A and B are shown apart, each in its own frame.
Chain A
Amino acid sequence: MSAGAPVRDVVVVGGGLAGWSAAAALKRRVPSLRVTILPIAQPADALTDRIACTLPSIRGFHADLGIGEEDAVLRTGSSYRLGTSFAGWAESQPDYVHAYGPHGAAVSGQSFHLHWTRAARDGGASPFDEFSAAATLARLGRFAPGDRDPRDPLAGHEYGLTLNLAAYASMLRAFAQHCGVIEQPRGLRAVRLRDDGWIDALELEDGSEQRAHLFLDCTGPAALLRSTIDDTRDDWRRWLPCDRVLFGTTPSAEAPSPLDRVTAWEAGWLWSAATPGGCGVVYASAQADDEAAERLLSVGGATPIGTPVAIAAGNRIEPWRGNCVAIGEAATVIEPLEWTNLHLAHSAIDRLIAMLPDQNCAPVEAADYNRQHIAEAERVRDFVALHYAAAKRPEPFWRGCAAADLPDSLAHTLSLFRERGRLPFYQEDTFDRDSWLAVLIGQGELPRRVDPLVEAVPAAESREFMARWQRAIAAAVPSRPTLAAYLGAQHRRLAR
C-alpha cells in the first residue's frame, strides 16, 4: 500500500478543556501540523468542564506538553489531591480512602492484599487504607509528592489536581496560542459530508468554510461533528444507574484539602471537593426528583448552580470514523464518579498523537484506535459500576444495584476477587490493582478464601510486616507539611 500525503491541517471543534487540550497537544507534539480551533462554547452537560477533580494522569499530560506545575497549578489557583474519601457506600464499613498509591508491599513475592486478607479473615487487620501512605497523608490533610525518593516510605504514590476551572481553561488557551494554535472564533452552522461519510467541510456562521485533513470533535456529549456521520453507541445505562447531576457551590472557601469527599445517599451520591473544587449531587431520576437533589445540596449549605444536567451513559464504538475523531465526551459519556471525564479526553488525545494517520485515514488504523478506545472505556465503566455493584445499602435504589446484571468483564473480576482475592488482567485498564483493591476492600468485599501462596508464609511473618509498615507510615507522616503549608511554600517560591 502506498502512503498518503501527511496530514497537515487539523481542525479542533470545541472550546472546552478537551478541545484546548487537544489543540495544544497536537501542535506542541507534532509541530508540523497546522492546528485550528473553533472554540465554540461547551454545553452545560459537558462534565469535563465542570468537574474540578482530576486523576494523576493529568500530570503526565502536562509534562508531555512542557507545562510546569507553576503554570498549571500555582498560577491558576489550583490545588493538589491525593484521593477521595468514600462514606456511606457500605453499611457497617468505615469510610475508606481511594488514594493513588500502593497498599503495603509484597511479602515473600505475594501481593500485600493477600496477606491482609488472611489477617482480616483471622479477625485482626486494621482497615486496608491505613496501609496506604497516600491515604494516611490525605486523611490528615498533609501532602507529599510521593515520587521523589524511592527509599522514602511515603514514596510510590501519585496525585491529581483540583483545578480552578476558569483560570485553568484560560491558561490552556494561552498556552495553545503560544504554541501556534490558530483560533477561529466563529460559530458552527453545519457539517457537510461527502458521499462516503467523510467530512467535506464545516460551514461556519459567517458563511465561510473550514476544511481540514482531520477533524476532532470535542463538542461534548452532543458530538456535533461525529454524530452527523452516524450515532451508533453502546448504551451503558443499565449498568450505570445515575442519570442526573446537579452542581452546587459552597458559600465560603475552605482550607485546602488533598481529599475530596464522596458520600452515598438514598438515590445516588454527592461530592464535595475542597477549594477550588465544587460540589454536587449525582442521582437516578427514577428514584429521586430534582427537588430532592436540591434539598440535599442545601442541607450541606451549598447553592445549586442552574438546572440539573442529564447523563446518558454510553460509549461510541467507532469514535474515529473517516476523517473525524470524537474525543472525550463526544466519544464516551459517563457520570463523574472517580473523575474520569478529562482523563478519557487526555488519553484519547495521546492515543491519536501516537496513531496520527496520513491523509488516507486508513480504516485499519482507525480500527486499531477504536479497539483500544473501547477496551479503555469499558474498563473505566467497570470500575465506576463496581462502586454500585459492591455497595451495601438498604434503600430500593441500592438493592437494585446489588441485584443488577453486570458487564461480563466486571462480573468476572468480582467473582474472581470474591472467590480468592485475585484480579484478572485486562488491557488498557486506567485504574491499577491498588485502585480496584481500595474500592473492593473499602466496600467490604472480603475474599472467601486465603490464597495458598500466602499460606506458604507464616502468619506471624505477615503480621510482623504489617505492623512494621504501619509504624513506618506513622513515623514518616508527621514530618510532611499540611497541604496549605505545602502550597504556601510553593507560592512563596514562585513569588521570589
Chain B
Amino acid sequence: MAGGEKVRVVVIGGGTAGWMTAAALTKLLPHACDVHLIESEAIGIVGVGEATLPQIRGFNARLSIDEAEFMARTRATFKLGIEFRDWGKPGDSYFHPFGTFGRGYGAVDFHHYWARLRAAGVAVPPIETFSYACTMARQNRFAPPASDPRDLRSTMGYAYQFDALLFAPYLRTLAEELGARRTEGMVVAVDRDGESGDIKAVALASGERIEGDLFVDCSGFRALLIGETMDEPFQDWSPWLPCDRAVAMPCRTETALTPYTGVIAMPGGWRWRIPLQNRTGNGYVYASAFTDDDTAARALESVVEGKAIARPRVLRFRAGRRERSWVGNCVAIGLASGFLEPLESTSLYLVQAAITALIELFPERRVSRVDRDEFNRVIDVEYDRIRDFLILHYHATTRSDSPFWDYVRTMPIPDSLAEKIALFRSCGRVMKHREGVFLDASWIAVYTGQGILPGGYDPRADLPVADTLIEGLQALRGEIGARVAEAPTHSDYIKRFCRMAEAA
C-alpha cells in the first residue's frame, strides 16, 4: 500500500471496549493494520449488563452483524428509551424516548404547541403521550420503525439491552476470524522511547515482549497505559457527579419484559433495571460520601423484582475523563479514557465514538499530530455534552429527602449547563447540538419530566386557531394509540425474532 507497512496495533484489555476495537479494526482496516490483543483472564470485566443507545445499530451494521443472531447470542431485548421514576420528586415518572414528540417535522417543534396550550390553561396531558415511542414502550410492545418519514411509525428509534459478558466473546470470535491475534497474559512493564516518549513495547509476565506502533488502552479503570504510563491528567468531575460506587445484583426476569430500561431515583442515588431475555440486571449507583456499601446492598436487595441470581457485587469509579484520550501513540478507549455513570447508557456509545474516530483518523506507523488533535477535539465534545446532560438529572429536582439529594440539588453546576437550562425556561428552546449524541427530544424529555417547564414558546406556535390545534393533538394521540395497538408485545416479538438458546 502507498502508506508503507502495516501499522502494528496492540490492544491492551479484552473487555467490551477491547474486542469492539479489535473487531472494528480487523473488519474495516485489514490491509492497514495487524491487531494483537492482550488480555488476562485473571482480570475481570466490569460489564454488568448493558443498556445502549440507538447508535450501536450503526456499529453492528458496519461489522455486518446479523441482528437476530446477535440478539439471541447476547440474550438481548429491545430498548425504546428509559423510564425515569422519582426524579423530579418521589412519585414522578417520565419517559426519555429514542424518538420525537409529535411527528418530528415542521418549522416549529411540537413542544412549543404543547407549551402554548399549557400557558393558555388548557389541560394538556404529559408530552410523552404525544410520542409513538413512549406510548409503545409504556404498553410493553415493540415493532421496528417505518422508513417512510411521513409514517408516524418512523418517529422512533431503538437500541438494545444485552449481556455485556456475552457481547465481548461474540466480538472476539468475529475479530479472531478476521485475523486478530490474542495473547493471554498480564502486562508487567511498558517500554518507551527515550526521546519521543512513545510506547515501543509491552512486556508480559510470561517474559514475552510485544512491540507495536499504536497502543490502544482498553484496560478499564486501571488506565494502564494512558494513566500509569503516559501520566495523562484526569479531569475530576465528581463535584458535579458525586456517585462513585455501584452495587450490582442480577435477578431472574419474572415480571413483564419491558422494552426499556428503568432508572429509579433512590435516597442515595439511583438504580437501574435492565431486562434481558432471561435475567434482569439491577444495580444501585450511589456516592460513598453519603451511603455505605452495606446500606446500598440491602436497599437494592429489598427492591429487586425477581429471584436473585448472584450476590451483590460492588464496583468503584470516579466521574471524569482524561485531558486527552490520545497521547503520543497511545489511544485510550472505554473506561481507561473516562467514566460517566450509566444513567443515560452512554458508556458503549463513547467506546463506539472513539473507535469511529480512530478508524477515520487511522494513523501511519508514525502518528501525526494532526490526526491526534482532531481525535481529541471530537472526543472532548462528546464527553462534555454528555456530562452536562447527566448533571441536569441531579440538578432539576425538588427532592430533599436525604443529604445526597440536598447536595446535588444545590451544588453549583457548569455555566454551560446553567445557560442551557435558562434558555429552555425562558423560551422553550433547546441549545443547538448537531454534534452531540443527545438531540432536542432528549433534553425536552428530561426538562419537562423533571419540572423545568418553558415560560415562553415560539410565537409562531400561536398561528393555528386554538380549537384546530386541540383537535389536531387529539387526532395525533388517536393515531398513536391505533398504531401502537397494531404492534405485537415485546415478548412475542422477541420470541419470534431472536429467541435466545435456552440458558445453560
Contact = CB atoms under 8 A, between A and B. Distances in A.
B459 A6 contact: yes
Given A355-B429, A365-B429, A452-B32, A422 B3 contact: no
Contact of B426 (A7, A362, A416): A362
Nearest to A375: B432
B43 interface: no
A368 interface: yes
B419 A452 contact: no
Given A7-B459, A355-B429, A364 B1 contact: no
Contact of B28 (A30, A362, A456): A456
A453 B29 contact: yes
Top 4 closest A-B pairs, CB basis? A452-B32, A3-B456, A364-B422, A3-B455
B427 interface: yes
A32 B459 CA distance: 9
Contacts of B361: 420, 422
A461 interface: no
A419 B370 contact: yes
Contacts of A365: 423, 426-427, 429
Interface stretch (B83-91, B98-106, B371-379, B489-497): B371-379
A425 B435 contact: yes
A452 B362 contact: yes
A356 B362 CA distance: 44
A3 B119 contact: yes
> Which of B30, B119, B455 has most A Cβ within 10 Å?
B455
A368 B458 contact: no
A368 B1 CA distance: 48
Contacts of B434: 427
> Which of B119, B374, B458 has most A Cβ within 10 Å?
B374
A30 B459 contact: yes
Interface of B: 1-3, 28-33, 107, 119, 359-362, 364, 368, 370-371, 373-374, 377, 419, 422-423, 425-427, 429, 431-432, 434-435, 455-456, 458-460, 462-463
A372 interface: yes
Contact of A356 (B359, B419, B458): B458
26 contacts: A3-B119, A3-B455, A3-B456, A29-B460, A30-B463, A32-B459, A32-B462, A354-B107, A362-B426, A364-B419, A368-B423, A368-B431, A412-B370, A412-B374, A419-B371, A422-B361, A422-B374, A424-B374, A427-B434, A427-B435, A450-B1, A452-B1, A452-B29, A455-B2, A455-B3, A456-B29
A159 B10 CA distance: 49
A115 interface: no
A349 to B, nearest CB: 14
A367 interface: yes
B58 to A, nearest CB: 12
Contacts of A362: 422, 426-427
A121 interface: yes
Contacts of B458: 354, 356
B377 A368 contact: no
A353 B463 CA distance: 14
Given A450-B2, A451-B362, A453-B359, 5 more contacts: A1-B455, A412-B370, A419-B371, A424-B374, A452-B33
Nearest to A121: B2
A2 B456 CA distance: 8
Given A30-B459, A415-B370, A452-B3, A1 B429 contact: no
A416 B31 contact: no
Nearest to A429: B434
B422 to A, nearest CB: 4
Nearest to A372: B432
B371 A364 contact: no
A449 interface: yes
Interface in A145-174: none
A266 interface: no
Given A355-B429, A356-B459, A365-B427, A449 B2 contact: yes
Interface in A339-375: 353-358, 362, 364-365, 367-368, 372
A449 B3 contact: yes
Contacts of B1: 450, 452, 455
Interface in A415-473: 415-416, 419-420, 422, 424-425, 427, 449-453, 455-456
Contacts of B456: 3-4, 358
Contacts of B432: 372, 427
A354 B31 CA distance: 49
A31 interface: yes
A118 interface: yes
A455 B364 CA distance: 13
A3 B118 CA distance: 13
B247 to A, nearest CB: 40
A124 to B, nearest CB: 14
A7 B435 CA distance: 32
B455 A364 contact: no
A452 B374 contact: no
Contact of A368 (B29, B32, B429): B429
Nearest to B32: A452
B135 to A, nearest CB: 28
A45 to B, nearest CB: 32
B28 A412 contact: no
